[in-house]
Amino acid sequence: MKILFLDQSSEPGGAELCLADIAQQFAKTSLVGVFTEGLFPDYLRQWNIPVKVLADQTFQVQKTSGLLAALKSLNQLVPLVTRVAQLSKHYDVIYANTQKALVVGALTSFLSNRPLVYHLHDIVSRDHFSAINRRIIITLANQAALVIANSQASFDAFIQSGGRAENVHIVYNGFRLESYENCVNDPKYLHSLLASDFTNFDSGDFPFFVGHFSRLSPWKGQHVLIEALQYCPDNVIALFVGDALFGEQAYVKQLREKIQVLNLEHRVKFLGFRSDIPQLMAACNLVTHTSTAPEPFGRVIIEAMLCGTPVVAAGAGGAVELINHGQTGWLTPPGDAKKLADIIKTCQNQPNQAKAMAQKAQTQASKLFNLETTNLKIAQLLDEVLKTF
């Protein structure tokens, strides 16, 4: 099957990593069209997935932009759609992976008479999108031959916003199990990275590492973990893995100010964007997820489970579907730093129970979130689209 995948992002977030995993099975016959050059197209090239950069500049519309910004972007949209429509003649299906890709994909699908598939990686609600953007997503997605929702939470929000249920299927993200198989749960992996910051490494008195893996953004709630640290023993150290995207620098400044005000400089480390996520997660004593708005899926939760590391997540959106509280991890109320600190202390004080919980989660995650099963489901759904179009 020849698929033209479309994704607006130049950076590899959860939606992009999921797309790369799906596109790889179709790599011989398909193409991923991205709107700008960056780390994501580089990542695709590393995996030998054909990629083409389609636009000369970044789209100015953001998820929360209003009508005016949407109208202003029209002068960028027209040449892009023209280019994609030409390209789409060589493909059977147009597969839009993000919101702006949906706009381009829907117009292209109309012009080139190719079926449109939309992979919904978002919670279409006012927490995440402006009213005009919600309206655009729903209207266009309702024209698609197939919508793949990444969780029940994303599905529910889509329907509540006016989406049609008939052609929506829920497919959870899948993961390459082999990437996690050789991870060792040993904080020594962090030694070389952090030795100069934490001198007690050499004495063998390791700190208790709490990892947070996400781009630095207000709704991802890094501030909640920083606030939680003040209620935890001094040897609890927070590691933030991930970069701030364009426009989020003000939040990074706020985080640094908070760290200073709470006198936590010696207990927080920012590692920036990293590619060795399984190794880092396995080396942490606990992985935290602290989104303050409902998370559409939460790849980091499953990744932590596959690494055999205990995980605590903010109990909203897709996270509630992934963790069975008290059995395979913990859920805390979004934004509640004290409750998060309680879980960190429980995990620190009861390492055997935490380990047992992590092992149970690892077994369950390996069964339910295997990439091979996910890719099979997606291939079947796409076959169905082609048959019925």
List residues binding ligand UDP (CB under 6 A): 13-15, 17, 213-214, 241-242, 273-274, 277, 297-300, 303
Q: Which among 253, 271, 16 is positioned nearest to 121, based on CA atoms?
A: 16
Return the ∠ at Cα 142 (arms to 141 and 145), rounded to 5°: 80
Question: Is the Cβ of residue 236 or residue 313 nearer to ligand UDP in the bound state?
Answer: 313
Backbone angles phi, psi at 209, to 5 degrees: -90, 125
- Residue 114's region, left for phi above 0, alpha for psi from -120 to 50, else beta, is beta
Question: Is the Cβ of residue 9 or residue 108 nearer to ligand UDP in the bound state?
Answer: 9
Backbone angles phi, psi at 40, to 5 degrees: -65, -50
For the CB of residue 241, give the shortest distance to ligand UDP in the complex, in Å: 5
CB 183, CB 307: distance < 8 Å: yes
For the CB of residue 383, give the shortest distance to ligand UDP in the complex, in Å: 27
Residue, CB closest to ligand UDP: 14
* Lateral strand order in the sheet of 286-289: 268-272, 236-241, 208-213, 286-289, 311-314, 330-332
Joined tokens for residue 343: 């879980």
For the CB of residue 242, give the shortest distance to ligand UDP in the complex, in Å: 4
Taking residue 2's Cβ as centre, other Cβ atoms within 10 Å add up to 14
CB 268, CB 259: distance < 8 Å: yes
Q: Which residue, chain included where needed, has tokens 């829920």? A: 170
Distance CA 338, CA 366 (A): 31
Amino acid 307 reads C
For the CB of residue 121, give the shortest distance to ligand UDP in the complex, in Å: 6
SS3 of residue 211 by DSSP: strand
Question: Is the Cβ of residue 87 or residue 271 nearer to ligand UDP in the bound state?
Answer: 271
Question: Is the Cβ of residue 117 or residue 241 nearer to ligand UDP in the bound state?
Answer: 241
For the CB of residue 302, give the shortest distance to ligand UDP in the complex, in Å: 9
For the CB of residue 365, give the shortest distance to ligand UDP in the complex, in Å: 13
DSSP string, 223-266: HHHHHHHTTS-TTEEEEEES-PPTT-HHHHHHHHHHHHHTT-GG
Question: Is the Cβ of residue 88 or residue 154 nearer to ligand UDP in the bound state?
Answer: 154
SS3 of residue 54 by DSSP: coil
For the CB of residue 43, give the shortest distance to ligand UDP in the complex, in Å: 9
Distance CA 362, CA 370 (A): 12
Question: Is the Cβ of residue 107 or residue 238 nearer to ligand UDP in the bound state?
Answer: 238
Distance CA 75, CA 338 (A): 49
For the CB of residue 55, give the shortest distance to ligand UDP in the complex, in Å: 21
| Non-local CB neighbours of 327 within 8 Å, separated by 6+ positions | 357, 360
For the CB of residue 20, give the shortest distance to ligand UDP in the complex, in Å: 10
Question: Is the Cβ of residue 271 or residue 354 nearer to ligand UDP in the bound state?
Answer: 271
